[in-house]
Amino acid sequence: MRKKDIITLVLLISATLFTAALSVNSDDLKYLVFVILIASGIKFSLIAFQFMELKKAHTFWKTALICFLVIFFGVVSIIVFY
Amino acid sequence: MTKINYKNIYYPPGGILMWLIIFLELITFGIALIALVINSKENSDLFHQSRLILNPSFGAINTVFLLTSGFFMATTVHQFKLNNVKKSSFYLKLTMLGGFMFLILKSVEYFIKLKEGFSIDYNSFFTFYWLLTGFHVIHVMVGLTILFVINKSLKKGSLSVEDIEASAAFWHMCDLIWLLLFPILYLIF
Protein backbone atom coordinates (compact mmCIF):
# COMPACT_ATOMS: atom_id res chain seq x y z
CA MET A 1 0.00 0.00 0.00
CA ARG A 2 1.27 3.43 -0.88
CA LYS A 3 1.55 5.98 1.92
CA LYS A 4 0.00 8.73 -0.25
CA ASP A 5 -3.06 6.52 -0.95
CA ILE A 6 -3.53 5.85 2.77
CA ILE A 7 -3.30 9.58 3.59
CA THR A 8 -5.79 10.30 0.78
CA LEU A 9 -8.25 7.73 2.17
CA VAL A 10 -7.99 9.19 5.68
CA LEU A 11 -8.62 12.70 4.30
CA LEU A 12 -11.58 11.48 2.23
CA ILE A 13 -13.24 9.69 5.15
CA SER A 14 -12.59 12.61 7.53
CA ALA A 15 -14.13 15.10 5.06
CA THR A 16 -17.17 12.81 4.59
CA LEU A 17 -17.81 12.44 8.33
CA PHE A 18 -17.18 16.18 8.89
CA THR A 19 -19.70 17.29 6.25
CA ALA A 20 -22.31 14.74 7.41
CA ALA A 21 -21.92 15.90 11.05
CA LEU A 22 -22.09 19.55 9.96
CA SER A 23 -25.33 18.96 8.07
CA VAL A 24 -26.99 16.99 10.89
CA ASN A 25 -26.02 19.39 13.71
CA SER A 26 -26.84 22.70 12.01
CA ASP A 27 -30.25 24.37 11.81
CA ASP A 28 -29.30 27.10 9.33
CA LEU A 29 -27.65 25.41 6.38
CA LYS A 30 -27.52 28.44 4.06
CA TYR A 31 -23.80 29.21 4.49
CA LEU A 32 -22.72 25.70 5.44
CA VAL A 33 -23.82 24.59 1.98
CA PHE A 34 -20.76 26.39 0.62
CA VAL A 35 -18.45 24.48 3.02
CA ILE A 36 -20.14 21.16 2.12
CA LEU A 37 -19.79 21.82 -1.63
CA ILE A 38 -16.11 22.83 -1.33
CA ALA A 39 -15.36 19.70 0.75
CA SER A 40 -17.12 17.57 -1.89
CA GLY A 41 -15.10 19.23 -4.66
CA ILE A 42 -11.85 18.49 -2.81
CA LYS A 43 -12.89 14.85 -2.28
CA PHE A 44 -13.76 14.57 -5.99
CA SER A 45 -10.31 15.92 -6.97
CA LEU A 46 -8.47 13.64 -4.53
CA ILE A 47 -10.09 10.55 -6.07
CA ALA A 48 -9.46 11.69 -9.64
CA PHE A 49 -5.88 12.86 -9.18
CA GLN A 50 -4.62 10.31 -6.62
CA PHE A 51 -6.65 7.10 -6.98
CA MET A 52 -7.27 7.44 -10.74
CA GLU A 53 -3.71 8.74 -11.25
CA LEU A 54 -4.91 11.67 -13.33
CA LYS A 55 -1.92 13.59 -11.97
CA LYS A 56 0.19 11.57 -14.45
CA ALA A 57 -2.06 12.40 -17.41
CA HIS A 58 -1.74 15.08 -20.10
CA THR A 59 -2.69 18.63 -19.01
CA PHE A 60 -5.79 18.47 -21.22
CA TRP A 61 -7.44 15.80 -19.00
CA LYS A 62 -6.51 17.57 -15.78
CA THR A 63 -7.87 20.88 -17.08
CA ALA A 64 -11.06 19.24 -18.39
CA LEU A 65 -11.80 17.68 -14.98
CA ILE A 66 -11.10 20.90 -13.09
CA CYS A 67 -13.35 22.81 -15.55
CA PHE A 68 -16.17 20.31 -14.93
CA LEU A 69 -15.73 20.67 -11.17
CA VAL A 70 -15.71 24.48 -11.24
CA ILE A 71 -18.73 24.69 -13.59
CA PHE A 72 -20.78 22.09 -11.68
CA PHE A 73 -20.15 23.30 -8.13
CA GLY A 74 -20.20 26.94 -9.32
CA VAL A 75 -23.65 26.57 -10.93
CA VAL A 76 -25.02 24.66 -7.90
CA SER A 77 -23.68 27.35 -5.50
CA ILE A 78 -25.15 30.20 -7.57
CA ILE A 79 -28.58 28.53 -7.72
CA VAL A 80 -28.56 27.75 -3.98
CA PHE A 81 -27.50 31.28 -2.93
CA TYR A 82 -29.65 33.40 -5.29
CA MET B 1 5.15 -5.28 -19.06
CA THR B 2 5.01 -2.39 -21.55
CA LYS B 3 5.48 1.13 -20.21
CA ILE B 4 2.60 3.48 -21.06
CA ASN B 5 3.30 7.16 -21.68
CA TYR B 6 0.44 8.78 -19.76
CA LYS B 7 1.59 12.25 -20.80
CA ASN B 8 0.36 11.43 -24.30
CA ILE B 9 -3.06 13.09 -24.71
CA TYR B 10 -4.48 9.83 -26.20
CA TYR B 11 -3.46 7.62 -23.23
CA PRO B 12 -4.84 8.95 -19.93
CA PRO B 13 -4.69 6.26 -17.18
CA GLY B 14 -7.60 3.96 -18.04
CA GLY B 15 -7.65 4.83 -21.74
CA ILE B 16 -9.19 7.62 -23.80
CA LEU B 17 -12.50 5.79 -24.41
CA MET B 18 -13.03 5.20 -20.70
CA TRP B 19 -12.36 8.87 -19.96
CA LEU B 20 -14.82 9.95 -22.65
CA ILE B 21 -17.42 7.71 -20.95
CA ILE B 22 -16.49 9.16 -17.53
CA PHE B 23 -17.00 12.73 -18.77
CA LEU B 24 -20.30 11.84 -20.46
CA GLU B 25 -21.56 10.22 -17.25
CA LEU B 26 -20.43 13.13 -15.09
CA ILE B 27 -22.12 15.63 -17.42
CA THR B 28 -25.34 13.57 -17.50
CA PHE B 29 -25.55 13.21 -13.70
CA GLY B 30 -24.39 16.83 -13.34
CA ILE B 31 -27.26 18.16 -15.49
CA ALA B 32 -29.79 16.03 -13.58
CA LEU B 33 -28.45 17.33 -10.25
CA ILE B 34 -28.59 20.94 -11.45
CA ALA B 35 -32.23 20.32 -12.50
CA LEU B 36 -32.86 19.00 -8.97
CA VAL B 37 -31.32 22.13 -7.39
CA ILE B 38 -33.36 24.43 -9.70
CA ASN B 39 -36.52 22.48 -8.74
CA SER B 40 -35.64 22.90 -5.05
CA LYS B 41 -35.83 26.71 -5.39
CA GLU B 42 -39.51 26.45 -6.33
CA ASN B 43 -40.35 24.03 -3.48
CA SER B 44 -37.73 24.78 -0.84
CA ASP B 45 -39.87 23.64 2.15
CA LEU B 46 -40.85 20.41 0.43
CA PHE B 47 -37.21 19.67 -0.45
CA HIS B 48 -36.03 20.48 3.08
CA GLN B 49 -38.67 18.22 4.68
CA SER B 50 -37.95 15.45 2.17
CA ARG B 51 -34.21 15.68 2.73
CA LEU B 52 -34.80 15.30 6.48
CA ILE B 53 -36.62 12.02 5.77
CA LEU B 54 -33.40 10.59 4.28
CA ASN B 55 -30.93 9.18 6.79
CA PRO B 56 -27.55 10.95 6.31
CA SER B 57 -25.85 8.18 8.33
CA PHE B 58 -26.76 5.70 5.58
CA GLY B 59 -25.36 8.12 2.99
CA ALA B 60 -22.15 8.76 4.95
CA ILE B 61 -21.50 5.06 5.67
CA ASN B 62 -22.14 4.22 2.02
CA THR B 63 -19.67 6.96 1.02
CA VAL B 64 -17.05 5.40 3.34
CA PHE B 65 -17.70 1.96 1.75
CA LEU B 66 -17.17 3.36 -1.76
CA LEU B 67 -14.11 5.44 -0.80
CA THR B 68 -12.45 2.45 0.93
CA SER B 69 -13.31 0.28 -2.05
CA GLY B 70 -11.72 2.90 -4.35
CA PHE B 71 -8.59 2.86 -2.17
CA PHE B 72 -8.35 -0.94 -2.53
CA MET B 73 -8.85 -0.59 -6.30
CA ALA B 74 -5.93 1.84 -6.53
CA THR B 75 -3.83 -0.64 -4.47
CA THR B 76 -4.90 -3.49 -6.79
CA VAL B 77 -3.57 -1.60 -9.83
CA HIS B 78 -0.37 -0.68 -8.01
CA GLN B 79 0.29 -4.31 -6.98
CA PHE B 80 -0.47 -5.53 -10.50
CA LYS B 81 2.12 -3.14 -11.92
CA LEU B 82 4.63 -4.59 -9.44
CA ASN B 83 3.78 -8.08 -10.79
CA ASN B 84 2.30 -9.16 -7.42
CA VAL B 85 -0.65 -11.03 -8.94
CA LYS B 86 -1.68 -12.75 -5.67
CA LYS B 87 -1.74 -9.50 -3.71
CA SER B 88 -3.48 -7.79 -6.60
CA SER B 89 -6.23 -10.43 -6.60
CA PHE B 90 -6.57 -10.13 -2.80
CA TYR B 91 -7.07 -6.35 -2.96
CA LEU B 92 -9.45 -6.75 -5.89
CA LYS B 93 -11.62 -8.99 -3.69
CA LEU B 94 -11.58 -6.33 -0.96
CA THR B 95 -12.63 -3.79 -3.61
CA MET B 96 -15.59 -5.99 -4.55
CA LEU B 97 -16.47 -6.46 -0.87
CA GLY B 98 -16.75 -2.66 -0.52
CA GLY B 99 -19.08 -2.59 -3.54
CA PHE B 100 -21.25 -5.37 -2.10
CA MET B 101 -21.44 -3.61 1.28
CA PHE B 102 -22.60 -0.48 -0.55
CA LEU B 103 -25.32 -2.42 -2.37
CA ILE B 104 -26.48 -4.18 0.82
CA LEU B 105 -26.82 -0.90 2.75
CA LYS B 106 -28.50 0.77 -0.24
CA SER B 107 -31.00 -2.11 -0.41
CA VAL B 108 -31.76 -1.68 3.32
CA GLU B 109 -32.27 2.05 2.76
CA TYR B 110 -34.53 1.42 -0.26
CA PHE B 111 -36.53 -1.18 1.72
CA ILE B 112 -37.09 1.25 4.62
CA LYS B 113 -38.13 4.08 2.30
CA LEU B 114 -40.58 1.86 0.39
CA LYS B 115 -42.02 0.48 3.65
CA GLU B 116 -42.61 4.05 4.87
CA GLY B 117 -44.33 4.91 1.58
CA PHE B 118 -41.68 7.21 0.07
CA SER B 119 -41.78 5.75 -3.42
CA ILE B 120 -40.78 7.38 -6.73
CA ASP B 121 -44.15 9.21 -7.09
CA TYR B 122 -44.29 10.54 -3.49
CA ASN B 123 -43.02 14.00 -4.50
CA SER B 124 -40.52 15.61 -6.91
CA PHE B 125 -37.59 15.24 -4.46
CA PHE B 126 -38.16 11.49 -4.19
CA THR B 127 -38.58 11.19 -7.97
CA PHE B 128 -35.07 12.65 -8.34
CA TYR B 129 -33.80 10.54 -5.40
CA TRP B 130 -34.99 7.24 -6.85
CA LEU B 131 -33.89 7.99 -10.42
CA LEU B 132 -30.43 9.32 -9.54
CA THR B 133 -29.53 6.74 -6.89
CA GLY B 134 -31.14 3.98 -8.98
CA PHE B 135 -29.00 4.79 -12.04
CA HIS B 136 -25.96 4.97 -9.77
CA VAL B 137 -26.75 1.53 -8.30
CA ILE B 138 -26.91 0.15 -11.88
CA HIS B 139 -23.40 1.58 -12.48
CA VAL B 140 -22.12 -0.09 -9.28
CA MET B 141 -23.63 -3.43 -10.39
CA VAL B 142 -21.99 -3.14 -13.83
CA GLY B 143 -18.70 -2.18 -12.11
CA LEU B 144 -18.88 -5.23 -9.85
CA THR B 145 -19.51 -7.47 -12.88
CA ILE B 146 -16.44 -5.99 -14.60
CA LEU B 147 -14.34 -6.54 -11.45
CA PHE B 148 -15.57 -10.15 -11.20
CA VAL B 149 -14.53 -10.84 -14.82
CA ILE B 150 -11.20 -9.05 -14.29
CA ASN B 151 -10.51 -11.19 -11.21
CA LYS B 152 -11.06 -14.36 -13.28
CA SER B 153 -8.65 -13.12 -15.98
CA LEU B 154 -6.15 -12.07 -13.31
CA LYS B 155 -5.97 -15.63 -12.02
CA LYS B 156 -5.53 -16.98 -15.57
CA GLY B 157 -2.74 -14.45 -16.19
CA SER B 158 -4.42 -13.08 -19.31
CA LEU B 159 -4.67 -9.47 -18.17
CA SER B 160 -2.84 -6.36 -19.40
CA VAL B 161 -2.15 -3.09 -17.53
CA GLU B 162 -4.59 -1.35 -19.89
CA ASP B 163 -7.38 -3.82 -18.97
CA ILE B 164 -6.99 -3.40 -15.23
CA GLU B 165 -6.58 0.39 -15.50
CA ALA B 166 -9.74 0.70 -17.61
CA SER B 167 -11.70 -1.42 -15.10
CA ALA B 168 -10.30 0.65 -12.23
CA ALA B 169 -11.29 3.88 -14.01
CA PHE B 170 -14.88 2.60 -14.36
CA TRP B 171 -14.98 1.65 -10.67
CA HIS B 172 -13.61 5.03 -9.58
CA MET B 173 -16.23 6.70 -11.80
CA CYS B 174 -18.89 5.18 -9.50
CA ASP B 175 -17.12 6.96 -6.58
CA LEU B 176 -17.04 10.25 -8.49
CA ILE B 177 -20.76 10.09 -9.35
CA TRP B 178 -21.61 9.24 -5.72
CA LEU B 179 -19.53 12.20 -4.52
CA LEU B 180 -21.83 14.45 -6.59
CA LEU B 181 -25.03 12.72 -5.41
CA PHE B 182 -24.27 12.45 -1.68
CA PRO B 183 -23.93 16.14 -0.70
CA ILE B 184 -26.82 17.30 -2.87
CA LEU B 185 -29.36 14.61 -1.98
CA TYR B 186 -28.44 14.05 1.68
CA LEU B 187 -26.87 17.26 2.98
CA ILE B 188 -27.59 20.64 1.41
CA PHE B 189 -31.38 21.12 1.44
If we measure between CA atoms, which residue out of B130, B139, B69 comes closest to residue B99? B69
What is the DSSP track for chain B? -PPP-TTSTT--TT-HHHHHHHHHHHHHHHHHHHHHHHHHHHTHHHHHHHHHHS-HHHHHHHHHHHHHHHHHHHHHHHHHHTT-HHHHHHHHHHHHHHHHHHHHHHHHHHHHHHHTT--TTS-HHHHHHHHHHHHHHHHHHHHHHHHHHHHHHHHHT---HHHHHHHHHHHHHHHHHHHHHHIIIII--
Q: Do B7 and A40 touch (CB under 8 A)?
A: no
B182 close contact with A: CB closer than 8 A = yes
Chain B residue numbers with beta carbons less than 8 Å from the beta carbon of A51 are 70-71, 73-74, 172, 175
**Beta carbons within 8 Å of B92's beta carbon, 6+ residues apart:** B72, B73, B76, B147, B150, B151, B154
Q: Does B186 contact A23 at a Cβ distance shorter than 8 Å?
A: yes
Task: Select from B59, B179, B188 the Cβ nearest to the Cβ of A43.
Answer: B179
Q: What's the CA gap between A66 and A34, in Å, rounded?
A: 18
CB within 8 Å of chain A, chain B residues 90-149: none
Sequence ranges of the domains in chain A = 3-81
Which ipTM did the prediction report? 0.90
Q: Indicate the domain borders of chain B.
A: 16-187
Instruction: Mark yes or no for CB contact A76/B34 under 8 Å.
Output: yes
Nearest to A36 among B14, B71, B187 (CB): B187
Instruction: Name the residue facing A16 among B38, B60, B70 (closest C-beta).
Output: B60
* CB spacing of A52 vs B67 below 8 angstroms: no
Count CB neighbours of B165 within 10 A. Answer: 23
Average pLDDT over every residue of B140-167: 90
Separation between Cα atoms, residue A27 and residue A34, nearest integer Å: 15
Residues B156-167: tens digit of each pLDDT: 877 888 889 999
Class of the B16-187 domain?
mainly alpha
Lowest mean pLDDT across B1-5, B54-58, B87-91 = B1-5
pLDDT tens, residue by residue, A41-76: 999 999 999 999 898 889 999 999 999 999 999 999
CB proximity B7 to A under 8 Å: yes
